[in-house]
Amino acid sequence: MEMPFDPWSPGFVADPYPAYAALRAGGRAHWFAPTRQYLVPHHADVSALLRDRRLGRTYLHRFTHEEFGRTPPPAAHEPFHVLNGHGLLDLEGPDHTRIRRLVAKAFTPRTVERLEPVVHRIAAELVDGLVADGGGDLLTRVAEPLPVAVIAEMLGIPASDRPLLRPWSAAICGMFELNPDEETARRAVAASVEFSAYLRELIARRRGEPGDDLVSALIAAHDEGDRLTGQEMVSTCVLLLNAGHEATVNTTVNGWWTLFRHPEQLAALRAGEVPLSTAVEELLRHDTPLQMFERWVLDDIEIGGVTVERGSEVALLFGSANRDPARFDDPDRLDLARADNPHVGFGAGVHYCLGAPLARLELAASFGALLERAPGLRPVREPRWRPGYVIRGLEELLVTP
Ligand code: HEM
């Protein structure tokens, strides 16, 4: 089979779904030489491997780089790896459990429910601003400021500092794309140094003057029982700030572009014929904002007759899993009323998205406000996709109310 997977090609990024169909038809695990990974395209496998403890987001809780047959990253990249490696998402085992338990308290459905009025108010204000101006870029006017404001508020980042967050996050997230180049690494390292320094200072200030925010809560946990190191605290804050908006931004913008291309479905949604929460899940499935997540293989496994040895890396293709006909009826069809929808957009297993209830609230608020307050919303022109494949989103989405 010719390898249809080409994450660096604009055509593939714009529409990876035909390539995924070819991969699924061709087998359950495909060696991809350019990134030295096995690509896993089926829903059943992605879902099972996310829950399989023989795989992990890191191997460093069990092996050194050398024991695992890997070369350590270059010393110049260390600030990025130190920052990334001590956040919740890139820890495994007892460290992951300990930090997740602490942070999870801030993201229970009940805590998130309390944010509801604020989130709806911000969404309404942003949409009203866009309408008053006669339209603009949905990304910068609504999709981005809403989740940034919410997560920054939760962490207690002063409003005047919020413009710093997006560029730092974007520079760091560049490293999550496949085979990042040296320039991407240089920018990620610079952002890691600045972002860490910023948070250390914020933490020092909050220690002297605690507030009703998550940073103060983490400091209290750290100071009382030494349950969180200083580095873990900084890394987890950065993770929350980045994970707390990147995918929500893209789900909003990609989701509206999908709706615009399905006018009958959009009309049904506007008419209230489909529950908004069901529609949001379908948009997450149909055009998954985070297309792929990787796992290290910590003990040999077998996928569809292929032995994948310890030390290998697998790339779980979420975007493909969510279009797998073995799991979803007519998977390429957008069906906003789809009832049976076990998509893997938020992952599964121990790293299942901690922010899923918050993301769902934000998406319901922004889609709801746009449907209600901008009932004639339409695109101005066809948008372009940004080059990234893993975190996949449009460059902009110009709309008129
Ligand atoms: C539509 C929006 C979102 C999507 C699609 C999404 C998706 C995901 C996925 C797939 C994972 C698991 C990655 C893996 O298994 O390797 C994850 C983890 C995570 N997400 Fe989200 N996410 C979204 C919004 C949010 C928000 C708003 C927050 C808020 C803080 C958040 C915080 C996190 C955290 C902290 C983790 C790491 C959990 C852990 O390792 O235990 N996410 N997310």
Helix (H, G, I), strand (E, B), or coil: what is residue 102? helix
- Chain CA centroid to CA 308, Å: 26
User: Judging by DSSP bridges, how do beta strands 136-137 and 292-297 pair with one another?
Assistant: unpaired
Q: How far is the CA of 44 from the centre of ligand 1 (A)?
A: 20
pTM assigned to the model: 0.96
Measure the CA–CA gap between 291 and 310, rounded to whole angstroms.
24
> Cβ of 329: how many Cβ atoms within 10 Å?
9
Distance separating the N- and C-terminal Cα atoms of the chain? 47
Looking at residue 108, its pLDDT comes to 82
**pLDDT (tens place) for every residue of the chain, 401 residues total:** 788 999 999 999 999 999 999 999 999 999 999 999 999 999 999 999 999 999 999 999 999 999 999 999 999 999 999 999 999 999 999 999 999 998 888 788 888 888 999 999 999 999 999 999 999 999 999 999 999 999 999 999 999 999 999 899 999 999 999 999 999 999 999 999 999 999 999 999 999 999 989 899 888 877 666 678 889 999 999 999 999 899 999 999 999 999 999 999 999 999 999 999 999 999 999 999 999 999 999 999 999 999 999 999 999 999 999 999 999 999 999 999 999 999 999 999 999 999 999 999 999 999 999 999 999 999 999 999 999 999 999 999 999 99
Q: What distance in angstroms lies between residue 290's CA and the mean position of ligand 1's atoms?
A: 10
What is the DSSP pairing of strand 37-40 with strand 313-317?
parallel
Across 200-332, the runs of DSSP E, i.e. the strands, are: 292-297, 301-303, 306-308, 313-317
Beta-sheet pairing, 378-379 with 398-400: antiparallel
Q: With a 6 A CB cut-off, is 351 part of the ligand 1 pocket?
A: yes
Q: How is residue 196 written in tokens?
A: 């860490």
Instruction: Name the residue with the closest Cα to ligand 1, atom 37.
Output: 89
- Dihedral angle over CA of 167, 173, 177, 183, nearest 10: 50
pLDDT for 2 equals: 83
| Best mutation site among 245, 254, 353 for ligand 1 pocket (most ligand atoms within 8 Å of CB) | 353
Neighbours of 200 (CB within 10 A): 15
Strand partners, 391: 290
CA–CA distance, 355 with 300 (Å, rounded to integer): 31
Domain ranges of the chain: 17-23+31-400
Residue 90 CA, closest ligand 1 atom number: 40
Is residue 5 a contact partner of residue 39, using CB atoms and an 8 Å limit? yes
Q: Ligand 1, atom 43: nearest CA belongs to which residue?
A: 353
CB 170 within 8 A of CB 192: no
Q: Of ligand 1's atoms, which has the minimum distance to the CA of residue 358?
A: 27
**Dihedral pair phi/psi, residue 400, rounded to 5°:** -125, 140
d(CA 125, CA 131): 10
Beta strand pairing status for 301-303 and 378-379? unpaired
d(CA 283, CA 338): 10
The CATH number assigned to the domain with range 17-23+31-400 reads 1.10.630.10
Coil, helix or strand at residue 323: coil
Q: Collect all residues with Cβ–Cβ distance below 8 Å to 114 and sequence separation of at least 6.
A: none
Closest protein CA for atom 11 of ligand 1? 353
Q: What is the DSSP letter of 249?
A: H
Q: Are 179 and 34 in contact (CB under 8 A)?
A: yes
Ligand 1 center from residue 252 Cα (angstroms): 15
Residues 337, 274 contacting (CB under 8 angstroms): yes
Q: State if residue 243 touches ligand 1 by the CB under 6 angstroms criterion.
A: yes
330 Ramachandran zone, left/alpha/beta (phi>0; psi -120 to 50): left
Nearest CA to ligand 1 atom 32: 355
Q: Report how far ligand 1's centroid is from the alpha carbon of 65 (Å).
A: 26
Q: Is 347 left (phi over 0), alpha (psi -120 to 50) or beta?
A: left
Helix (H, G, I), strand (E, B) or coil at 394: strand
Give per-residue pLDDT as tens, 366-379: 999 999 999 999 99
| Residue 118: count of CB within 10 angstroms of its CB | 13
Looking at 261-355, list the stretches that DSSP marks H as alpha helix, in order from N- to C-terminal side. Answer: 263-270, 276-286, 318-321
Closest CA to ligand 1's atom 23: 247
Q: Identify which of 254, 258, 299 has the alpha carbon closest to the alpha carbon of residue 59.
A: 299
